[in-house]
Amino acid sequence: MSTLTVNPAPSAGAPKSPAGTKRAPLLSQPRVQRVVYPMLVGLVLVGLWQGMVTAMELPPYLVPSPILMMQTLVTDWAALGGALITTLKVTVLSFVLATVVGVLVSFLFVQSKRIETALFPYAVLLQVTPIVAVAPLIIIWVKNPTAAMVVCAALVALFPIISNTTLGLRSVDPDLQSYFKLNHATRWQQLVRLRIPSALPYFFGGLRISSGLALIGAVVAEFVAGTGGQGAGLAYQILQSGFQLNIPRMFAALLLISLTGVALFVLMAWLTQLALGSWHASELSQD
């Protein structure tokens, strides 16, 4: 006699199917936290700034309020926007120049330890020499003001590219290097297939540093060059605002410089994620 087996109905406390699982809260995601938390801190600081200016009744020529600064940014955008484009052009050109020269110098260093030992101190010399002291000479030697400012800013941004890329090209797994030599790999094959992939995390780390330094170098070069007129950058707007005691415009120009630096860093971080996100541990980690 056959028996009939009846499957029991699922109880109310039984786990639901994967389709019914709840998604993690939005604020628990690391990418959202990296955006929301700094914005919350920024809003608190701006609120404290506005409150202190209002409570202490500080005059605009001493410390402008955030509201007045934003109003000035809107009303004076015709001058500030053009100055931002000029400063951004010098920054991008100097950053590209520093990247190309820095990578080429690093490739030269990695070919011979003797070459690196002989020339690396001069790269350090460029880093420790104040650009304010060198910029007047460069402006005299280079007749074009824009080209002179690009050279000055590139000198400021050059060393992190050289240092980080050289370190990355040297930081090769000895076992992999022995394996390449065992298979009679040429210098070019070792460079392209072994050293460059190993150096990419260091290289992009140098890019994040040099992007901000290129902006700083561009602003300092504009201060030293003292270029004015229609093609002037944000540094000239700051100087002119200081002479005219137009402090709200000065703060608006400083805000544009800060936002440009943050945008450059975010862009470099995005490029790093794009290049390393699928294989390198530094970008795969979610901690």
Q: Residues 113-148, buried b or exposed e (16+ Cβ, 10 A)?
A: eeebeeeeeebeeeeeeebeebbeebbeeeeebbeb
What is the mean predicted confidence (pLDDT) over 115-143?
Answer: 86
Distances (CA, A) of 66 to 86, 136, 143, 221, 252: 25, 36, 40, 28, 9
Query: How sure is the predictor about 284, in pLDDT bands with cuts at 50, 70 and 90?
Result: low
pLDDT for residue 7: 53
Count of alpha carbons within 13 Å of 178, Cβ hemisphere only? 3
pTM of the predicted model as reported, rounded to 2 decimal places: 0.82
Residue 265 pLDDT > 80: yes
Write the CA distances from 79 to 45, 76, 95, integer angstroms.
Answer: 28, 6, 24
- Whether residue 247 has pLDDT greater than 80: yes
Residue 17 pLDDT greater than 50, yes or no:
no
- Determine the 3-state secondary structure of 31 from DSSP: helix
The top-scoring range by mean pLDDT among 50-59, 112-121, 221-230, 248-257 is 248-257
- C-beta separation of 234 from 80 below 8 A: yes
The structural domains of the chain, with segments of one domain joined by +, span 60-275
CATH class, range 60-275? mainly alpha
Q: Which residues contact 281 (CB under 8 A, 6 or more apart)?
A: none
Q: Rounded to an integer, what is the distance from CA 159 to the centroid of its chain?
A: 15
- Which whole number is the average pLDDT over 39-62? 89
- What is the average per-residue pLDDT within 249-277? 91
Look at 60-74, 131-145, 225-239, 245-259 and tell me which has the smallest mean pLDDT: 225-239
pLDDT tier at 16 (50, 70, 90 boundaries)?
low
**DSSP strands (E only) in the chain:** none
